[in-house]
Amino acid sequence: MFAFIVRRVLQAIVVMGVIAFIGFSVQHSIGDPVRDMVGERVSLAEREAIRDQLGLNDPVPIQFGRFCWKALHGDLGISYFHKRPALDVILSKAPATLELVFGATVIILVFCFPVGIYTAIRPRAWLSRFVMAVSTVGVAVPVFLTAIVLIYIFGVELRWLPTYGRGETVALGGWDTGLLTADGLLHLILPSVALSSIMLPLYIRLIRSEMMEVLETEYIKFAWAKGLSRWRIWLLHAFKNTLLPVITVFGVEIGILFAFTLLTETVFQWQGMGFMFLEAVERSDTALLVAYLVVVGVMFVVINTLVDICYGLVNPMVRVAGNP
Amino acid sequence: MTHLLEVENLNVRFALRFGDLTAIDGISFHLDRKEKLGIVGESGAGKSVTGFAIINLLSKPGYIAGGRIRFEGREIHRLSAEALRQIRGNRISMIFQDPMMTLNPVLTIGTQMVETVRAHRRVSKAEARTLALEKLQKVYIPSPEKRLDQYPHEMSGGMRQRIVIAIALLTDPALIIADEPTTALDVTIQAGIMELLGELCATEEMGLILITHDLAVVSQVTERIAVMYAGQIIETGSTAEIVARPRHPYTIGLINSLPGTRRAGSRLEQIPGMMPVLTAIPEGCAFHPRCFLAAPECRAARPDLTPVNGARQWAACHRLDQTAQPNLLKDSTSRP
């Protein structure tokens, strides 16, 4: 298992290198920092001098090395608009996005397993058919539409839930959290539901189809022939095998969840990284865009690595393959 | 006198959209403790369905449409789900065809054995583990202590089938149903597994139903056989008698097609045609389109099982007078 984790972490580092290279390429090829820094009247020779001074005339590999070195020390450039280090800007917005993703993940995890399992073991029940029909609609409706409908129903008509911003937050060290106040939690509900609406139906369908397949296998039939209780067969024998593909997909999809925070945060005016990213695009704030790319890349890689390690814990065959 | 297992006029159907298909059409047999019965036939004859019907574990949409299955004096198909669960894996154990598929890949052997014991006995995990060790030794698994903590994929097919047999033995069942237990294994492993099953049947005083398409295997292990064709038993009786003097043309064809009866290099015998599919079972005797003795009466009426050979053997054929001739068997010297 240890060897497996080490190998997986090494792979993660390689992926990070690739992400850093893409980030570097974006910065390198979009815009000319010298032109942004100096006025029209500066001569070409002076411009060249500034380029030399900034290291922009160095060979590309050296510039990339410098970029990585700085990135490792937390320096991803200065945001043109905010006039602050890009990393600081992003990290101040990160808690909002992470809490939103966390809220959506909790909703997905709480509902997808019981509903998925139920629809798999009772595929003909009317409740299962109903869930399947609704989930088809859920997969098809885009997240911003769900968000707007939710705002209309629960915010405008019923007036039960706030629809705008994060509400009251508490600073916890450097972490600005809305999870500790009632107001913050209330504000989190609608955005989380909207964000989860894109994944939850997908997961229910995935768990259902995987589990139905597993229930047809010989080892499940053997488990029945052994006279085990139905709950043990469903929740241990079948479910544990269902988990393997579900975990794999989960690792990939959680990245997509981050992508959808762009839309969700915009509709709900949620002051997170996604909202900031769209602002940065409008302002052509390259440093901030690159920083966003790198930070989201790191999150992606960390989460995927954790998911893979979970997979190894569930699937004994991976563990053996990891043994040297 | 009551037998351990009595199957009477069993009828199994599959409920499909366009109507019911009959998979098992009125078969009857019985079995006692320590007795070994072989059920033989081609794929699709209904052998496995018979096995699963006995523990009422037919895959949907299969269901028992008629007849009686009585085990230890209780009618299986009238039992509640819980009563049935207490019989499955406890009084009747099953061994499946492919040991690579039978064990759950994500649970250790120990877990899969302990849970079986604890599904039927009020014992601690440690006690169940001790019992599992004992049974693993009985099926000659080397270093059983280590195996308990391993996963199925760490073992060979033959080893896994031994573990499946050990699981079947855990609760000292009265009956073991082995559905093609050696078909998926190497020939060298097959003999060992068969020998083990036969031996255990005697020492553990269990009844054994051996479901297979392999006449050679059946003749080594069992005392009685039932030959199935298109959902019916068409010949049954003592294994030795039937192998020596088969009376149904289908059984004659099966025995003639064994490679052991042929000279090396010569062409293997085969029965012309294919087993009919369930949707198109011929009228009268289901075998008549492939039968070399078919007569008009075979098309008209289905033959009943009739005692022959002093009632040591029963065959369902209209032309029993013809099948008595010894020259129908190609070679009577080197049969298994």
- Residue pair B227/B252 in contact (Cβ under 8 Å)? The answer is no
**Alpha carbons A131 and A109: distance in angstroms, whole number:** 16
Look at A171 and B22; give whichever has higher pLDDT: B22
Element (H, E) at B14: strand B5-16
pLDDT greater than 50 at residue B275 = yes
Interface mutation vs chain B, best among A210, A214, A226, A231, most B CBs within 10 Å: A226
Put simply, the answer to whether A227 touches B103 (Cβ < 8 Å) is: no
Mean predicted confidence (pLDDT) in B253-259: 83
Confidence of residue B123 (pLDDT cuts 50, 70, 90): very high
Residue A117 in domain: yes
Which range in A28-32, A110-114, A312-316 is most confidently predicted, on average pLDDT?
A: A110-114
Distance from CA of A113 to the nearest CA of B (A): 19
pLDDT exceeds 80 at position B110: yes
Between chains, do A225 and B57 touch, taking CB under 8 Å as contact? Answer: yes
Report the candidate in B80, B88, B121, B91 with the shortest Cα–Cα distance to residue B4: B91
**Structural domain contains residue A161:** yes
What is the rounded CA–CA span in Å between residue B79 and residue A4?
Answer: 50
- On whether any CB of chain A is under 8 Å from the CB of B105, the answer is yes
| B335 has a pLDDT exceeding 60 | no
Token pair listed for A322: 């990891």
Tally of CA atoms within 13 A in the half-sphere of A55 that contains its CB: 9
In the structure, what pLDDT confidence band is assigned to residue B38 with cuts at 50, 70 and 90? very high
* The domain over range B5-222 is classified in CATH as 3.40.50.300: yes
Q: What percent of chain A has pLDDT over 90?
A: 19
Name the band, by pLDDT with cuts 50, 70 and 90, for residue B331.
Answer: low
- Per-residue pLDDT reduced to its tens digit, B136-160: 998 888 899 999 999 999 998 889 9
Domain membership flag for residue A317:
no
Q: What is the pLDDT of residue B177?
A: 94
CB atoms B101 and A217 under 8 Å: yes
Give the CA diameter of chain B.
67
Q: Is B103 on the interface with A (CB under 8 A)?
A: yes
Tokens 């968000």 found at: A147
Phi, psi torsion values for A174, nearest 5 degrees: -90, 0
Q: How far is CA A270 from the centre of its chain?
A: 16
Q: For residue B92, what is the enclosing H or E element?
A: strand B92-95
Place of tokens 């052509």: A284
pLDDT digits (tens, 9 = 90+) for A203-248: 999 999 999 999 999 999 999 999 999 999 999 999 999 988 888 8
Q: What radius of gyration, in Å, describes the C-alpha atoms of chain A?
A: 24
In the structure, what pLDDT confidence band is assigned to residue B27 with cuts at 50, 70 and 90?
A: very high
Q: What is the mean pLDDT of chain B?
A: 88
Give B195-225 pLDDT, tens digit per residue.
Answer: 888 888 888 889 999 999 888 888 888 999 9
For A238, name the nearest residue in chain B, comparing CA atoms only. Answer: B104
Domain positions in chain B are: 5-222, 246-328
Note whether A227 contacts B106, CB cutoff 8 Å. Answer: no
Residues 6+ apart with CB under 8 A from B86: A227, B120
From the list B57, B106, B115, which residue is nearest A314 (CB)?
A: B106
Minimal C-alpha gap between B89 and chain A (Å): 4
pLDDT of residue B336: 45
Query: What is the rounded CA–CA span in Å between residue A192 and residue A197?
Result: 8
Closest Cα in chain A to B54: A225
User: ∠ CA(B138), CA(B51), CA(A218), 5° rounding?
Assistant: 75
Pairwise CB contact (< 8 Å): B106 & A241: yes
Q: What is the DSSP letter of B304?
A: P
DSSP structure string for B183-208: TTS-HHHHHHHHHHHHHHHHHTT-EE
Check pLDDT > 70 for residue A320: no
| Contact call for B107 and A317, based on CB within 8 A | no
Residue A105: strand, helix, or coil: helix
Facing residue for B98 by CB, picked from A218, A237, A240: A218
Interface of A with B (CB under 8 A): 217-219, 221-229, 232, 236-237, 240-241, 244, 314-317, 320
- Asked whether the beta carbons of residue A316 and residue B105 sit closer than 8 angstroms, the reply is yes
Give the tokens for residue A162: 């706030």
Interface membership of B59 toward A (CB under 8 Å): yes
In the predicted structure, residue B332 carries a pLDDT above the cut 50? no
Burial class (CB in 10 A: 0-12, 13-18, 19+), A7: middle
Residue of A nearest to B150 (CA): A316
Residues of B whose CB is below 8 A from A210: none
Q: Which residue of A has its CA nearest to B173?
A: A226
Q: Do A241 and B115 touch (CB under 8 A)?
A: no
Q: Quick one: which of B25, B34, B26 has its CA closest to B5?
A: B34
Distance CA A61, CA B176 (A): 71
pLDDT-derived band at A323 (thresholds 50, 70, 90) equals very low
Report pLDDT for A36: 65
Picking from A169, A188, A185, A165, the residue whose alpha carbon sits closest to that of residue A177 is: A169
**To the nearest whole angstrom, how far is the Cα of B236 from the nearest Cα of chain A?**
27
Whether A199 is in a domain gets the answer yes
Using a CB-CB cut-off of 8 Å, the residues of chain A touching B105 are 219, 241, 316-317
Higher pLDDT, B295 or A80: B295
Percent of chain B predicted with pLDDT > 90: 45
B56 CB within 8 Å of a chain A CB: no
B106 — contact with chain A (CB < 8 Å)?
yes
The DSSP string of B275-300 is PPPGGGPPSSSTTGGG-TT--HHHHH
Query: Is residue A59 in some structural domain?
Result: no
State residue A322's pLDDT score: 42
pLDDT of residue B13: 92
Q: How close B295 comes to chain A (CA, Å)?
A: 43
B278 close contact with A: CB closer than 8 A: no
Measured CA to CA in angstroms, residue B277 lies from B11, B22, B43, B274 at distances of 17, 11, 10, 9
Q: Which residues of A touch B88 (CB under 8 A)?
A: 224-227
The sign of the CA dihedral B2, B6, B9, B11 is positive
Q: Indicate if the alpha-carbon torsion angle A98, A101, A104, A109 is positive or negative.
A: negative
- Across the range B157-171, mean pLDDT stands at 91
Write out pLDDT tens, residues A276-308: 888 888 887 788 888 888 888 888 888 888 888
Q: What is the pLDDT of residue A295?
A: 86
User: Is A72 part of any domain?
Assistant: no
The Cα of B99 is separated from the nearest Cα of chain A by a number of Å equal to 9
In what order do the strands lie in the sheet containing B313-316?
A: B92-95, B175-179, B207-212, B36-40, B224-229, B232-238, B313-316, B305-308
Cα B142 to Cα B145: distance, rounded to the nearest angstrom? 9
Asked if A222 and B98 come within 8 Å (Cβ–Cβ), the reply is no
Is A241 inside any structural domain? yes
Kindly report which listed range (B1-10, B51-60, B260-269) carries the lowest average pLDDT score.
Answer: B260-269
Say which DSSP state A163 is in. -
Q: What is the pLDDT of residue A155?
A: 80
pLDDT (mean) for B239-254? 90
Bridge-based pairing state of the strands B224-229 and B175-179? unpaired
Cβ contacts of B108 on chain A, cutoff 8 Å:
316
Does the pLDDT value for residue B93 go beyond 50?
A: yes
pLDDT value of position A31: 65
How far is it, in rounded angstroms, from Cα B45 to Cα B94? 19
Residue B75 near residue B9, CB atoms below 8 Å:
no
Specify the higher pLDDT residue, B287 or A78: B287
Please name the residues in contact with A276: beta carbons below 8 A apart, sequence gap of 6 or more. Answer: A89, A90, A93, A288, A292
- Provide the shortest C-alpha distance from residue A232 to chain B (in Å): 9
Q: Give the domain range for residue A119.
A: 88-273
A133-185: pLDDT as tens digits: 888 888 888 888 888 888 888 888 888 887 777 777 777 776 777 777 778 88
Lowest-pLDDT choice from A70-84, A293-307, B27-41 = A70-84
A192 close to A104: Cβ distance less than 8 angstroms: yes
Residue B101 to residue A223, Cβ atoms within 8 A: no
CB atoms within 10 A of CB A270: 26
Output the pLDDT for position B261.
59
Q: How many domains does chain A have?
A: 1
CATH number at residue A146: 1.10.3720.10
Best of B71, B104, B150, B209 to disrupt the A interface by mutation (most A CBs within 10 Å)? B104
> Is there a cis peptide before residue B61, judged by omega within 30 degrees of 0?
yes
Which of B57, B106, B135, B161 has the highest number of chain A CBs within 10 A, making it the mutation to test binding with A? B106
